[in-house]
Amino acid sequence: MTLPVAIPWVAGRMLGSLAVMSAPVVVAVADDSPADRAGVRPGDRLLSINDRVPRDVIEYQLLVDESSVALSLDTGGLQRDVVVDKPGGSPLGIEVDSALFDRVRTCDNHCEFCFIYQLPPGLRRSLYVKDDDYRLSFLYGNFTTLTRFTEADLERVLSEGLSPLYVSIHATDPGKRIEMLRNRRGATSLRWLRALLDHGVEVHGQVVVCPGLNDGAWLEDTLAGVADRFAELASLCVVPLGVSRHSDEPRMRAHTASEAVDVVEIVESWQERFLSVLGRRLVHASDEYHLLASRPFPPAEAYEDLDMTEDGVGMARAFEREFMTVETTDSSELSSERASGFFRSLEGAPALGYRSPRTCGNGTDSMVDEGVVALGDPVVRPRNDAPVGVLTGVLGAAVLAPLLATVDRDDVRVLTVENQFFGGNVGVTGLMVGEDVARILANEPKGHRYLLPDVCLSNGKFLDGMLPEDLPRPVEVVSADGGSLRVALGGLAHRTRAGRAGETVGGLV
């Protein structure tokens, strides 16, 4: 998988993947659900369903759709059988701890720009797992290179309707793609992309551009290859590589401003060609490219209702729209306004990585929903009319500053958090860690309100393991979308969208 270099408060996708799993563990049972009434409890291990052992939550959902579901459970080492009767197609009411129950298909590419190789030591083990599993592409929007895709995989995608999928292209020239992936199968694996498109599967593509490797004439060649061979793609996002200070690849470096300008101009040129031939722009440069090039973002209509914000495309415009229109929008609509274009809401599927519940670290989602400051010892709640500091990454600051200037108050400021933990050109807000946030807050006055975007938390923790309550100032965890930030600044009553399993809490703020 590749990590998209997204904008503002958001990083977008999971950094890591799943460990090898066997029988899934029940982590939650909905109150008064069929499973609850049948006696299924958190901690039970799910051994089989209707005498079949599902490979993943996709197969799980097909099995539990039946009106009578026979579960074989392991409860504390004791095996027991439970039959759940319910209307066919209705939810069983179980959430399990993993999306895949068999072995995760790991990535055997060795891309120089892979962010997994650039992580510092000492993080959670799951963050170091590289996946190239088409099932996680369907479930969570992870990009797959298709180098481990097989005929059996294609058959399952088609028979079970696993669409959309997300494919890393990087180059369409076989030799250049081998060089990019450092895998000989890269030369031929795009045949599977052709097969998917031939069978009507919706596919979104991505090109991670590395200066001196696949930019310039090679980017032109890639877009020409897409026009010639893969014009049915739903979209193609062109994003810059992220380089942390832990990278040991000598060819990998950040873009210069002039290189960013070149990428934007190449993409805009091809947009005109696609528009004239296909009636749509197809290819889009990420928001970060426009920031690096000091170019204005395209108008909202240029994105053609494309929901690829989690890949860093159109995030700024989407966030701006949410921020500027919240006063004319019913607050009850904000939580469902931006449904994810990536996550497939399958019953039982856990929300992983950046999709995990956004809590303040004590497991109480309602604290986030109510916009309460994170728990500390002791807790001192600032006044609602106190000055406000909005925490965001370097890239997010460029988007937030002009929007906050439109707010009718002069005591709101952007607190830009430089990412020293990862270093390099990492400036996305979703990769902010507690260590860097704490460094900024230590120099800020007490008694102010400090708004922290939920996208930098996973199960209530920063990537470096710190909790919000470990910070030197109390913070309010706010859902990372424009509407939630505007509501938090205006003191309006509004529940954030944090803590919903299977829901994207992305956004720009």
* Residue 406 CA, distance from chain mean position: 29
- Using the predicted structure, report yes or no on whether residue 500 has a pLDDT greater than 50: no
Check if the beta carbon of residue 466 is closer than 8 Å to that of residue 435.
yes
Paired tokens of 508: 């720009």
CATH class of 115-303: alpha beta
pLDDT per residue as tens digits for the range 86-143: 998 889 999 998 888 888 888 999 999 999 889 998 888 778 888 899 999 998 888 9
C-alpha to C-alpha distance for 193 and 181, rounded to whole angstroms: 16
C-alpha to C-alpha distance for 373 and 102, rounded to whole angstroms: 40
**Phi-psi group of 102: left, alpha or beta (phi > 0 → left; psi -120 to 50 → alpha; rest → beta):** beta
Instruction: Give the global pTM.
Output: 0.83
62-71, 365-374, 378-387, 494-503: least confidently modelled range: 494-503
The domains of the chain are located at 26-96, 115-303, 332-490
Say whether 426 sits in a helix, a strand or coil: coil
User: Measured at the alpha carbon of residue 460, what is the angle toward residues 459 and 465, in degrees to the nearest 5?
Assistant: 95
Check if the beta carbon of residue 240 is closer than 8 Å to that of residue 252.
no
For the chain, give the mean pLDDT: 83
Reference 23, options 109, 120, 123, 97; nearest CA is 97
pLDDT per residue as tens digits for the range 254-313: 999 999 999 999 999 999 999 999 999 999 999 999 999 999 999 999 998 877 887 889
State the pLDDT at residue 346.
63
State the pLDDT at residue 253.
95
State the pLDDT at residue 251.
95
CATH topology (fold) of 26-96: Pdz3 Domain (2.30.42)
pLDDT per residue as tens digits for the range 204-249: 999 999 999 999 999 999 999 999 999 999 999 999 999 999 999 9
330 confidence band (pLDDT: 50, 70, 90): low
In the chain, the percentage of residues whose pLDDT exceeds 90 is: 63
1-15, 273-287, 377-391, 451-465: least confidently modelled range: 1-15
Q: In 216-353, at which residue ranges do the beta strands (DSSP E only) sit?
A: 235-240, 283-285
Q: What is the largest CA-CA distance in the chain?
A: 65
The CB-based long-range contact list for 302-306 (8 Å cut-off, 24+ gap) reads 304/280, 306/235
State the pLDDT at residue 147.
96
259-268, 376-385, 439-448: least confidently modelled range: 376-385
C-alpha to C-alpha distance for 166 and 138, rounded to whole angstroms: 7
Say whether 345 sits in a helix, a strand or coil: coil
Percentage helix, strand, coil for the chain under 3-state DSSP, each rounded to 5: 35, 15, 50
State the pLDDT at residue 383.
73
Reference 19, options 103, 95, 96; nearest CA is 103
C-alpha to C-alpha distance for 473 and 442, rounded to whole angstroms: 7
Paired tokens of 253: 């470096």
